[in-house]
Structure 1
């Protein structure tokens, strides 16, 4: 690591893999490490929050599927759930839907030849409880910080844009 990449304290960028930060864009390695930490913390949060809402045995993906199905109160096609969540392995979503059905949180149907998934009243209630817990335990404390809402929206937009770059790079790597 060059002296140029060190900050005034003499410590380089905070990364998990220094050998990757030695390339042309060390800031990307910093972002990736932050993303790793944030994604694991977010997964832990979702599992703890849904358990507190009354459904202890769901995976982070199950929670994401549940909220996606509840979104706007309309039935969703399985393909649309995969698209929105950027999931290629449809069997993972199918398994999650079956698990949510077993818990009485969603129900499945058909629209022509396509499978659809719809939230049940119990599923809607669990999502409402999740939101209440989220408001109290996550949003409440965050609103007392100097967190800038506009900046948070900009970070979210940047992350969505970066996901497109990662997807394109993944397609290129798959063709090697």
Structure 2
């Protein structure tokens, strides 16, 4: 006689999947589910970008180092520290500055002075690593999506919602800071 599969607790009771049950609000259990998904996907994304850049040949970078290199390479325009921090929504500019110094030490980012202003740009070597990263990303990540148009539409909508929610979280942070 075959045994019946036992449904998981989440499926059987429709409990939200969360990391902090004590924070679940009866007005929005969905926000707690979203936050858990954000934690898990954020960590998976960070692991992915570090491994992808390592496969491209740049090892021992932190997720922030990888993101800074990508941003400095973006549109082939020199970037100021304040602009990098602003675009990446990183309040502590010293974290970005530390990543820039590390990337300069690796020879993938160079700085230049224009008057009192210091700007940063990817070097030719940095652009080669970013190009190799792109090739690996295409092969390992984009191909995994199998170019599913419906999924790509959903990802686009999710990106829009994440930008909206980042504004909600920023406003909530300002409110909390004023208490």
Normalised to the residue count of structure 2, the TM-score between the two structures is 0.90
The within-5 A match list for 1:23-172 is: 23-143=26-146, 148-172=151-175
1:73 offset after TM fit, Å? 0.6
* Unmatched 5+ stretches in structure 1: 1-5
Distance 1:150 1:71 in 2: 24
1:147 offset after TM fit, Å? 5.4
Distance 2:75 2:137 in 1: 19
Question: Which of these two proteins has the greater Rg computed from alpha carbons?
Answer: 2
Matched positions, count: 171
SS in structure 2 of the partner of residue 104 of structure 1: coil
1:15-70 C-alpha deviation (Å, 9 max, x unpaired): 11112113311100000000000000011001111111111111000000000000
Normalised to the residue count of structure 1, the TM-score between the two structures is 0.92
Counterpart position of 2:6: none
Contact 2:10–2:17 (8 Å) recurs in 1: no
1:144 offset after TM fit, Å? 5.9
Counterpart position of 2:21: 18
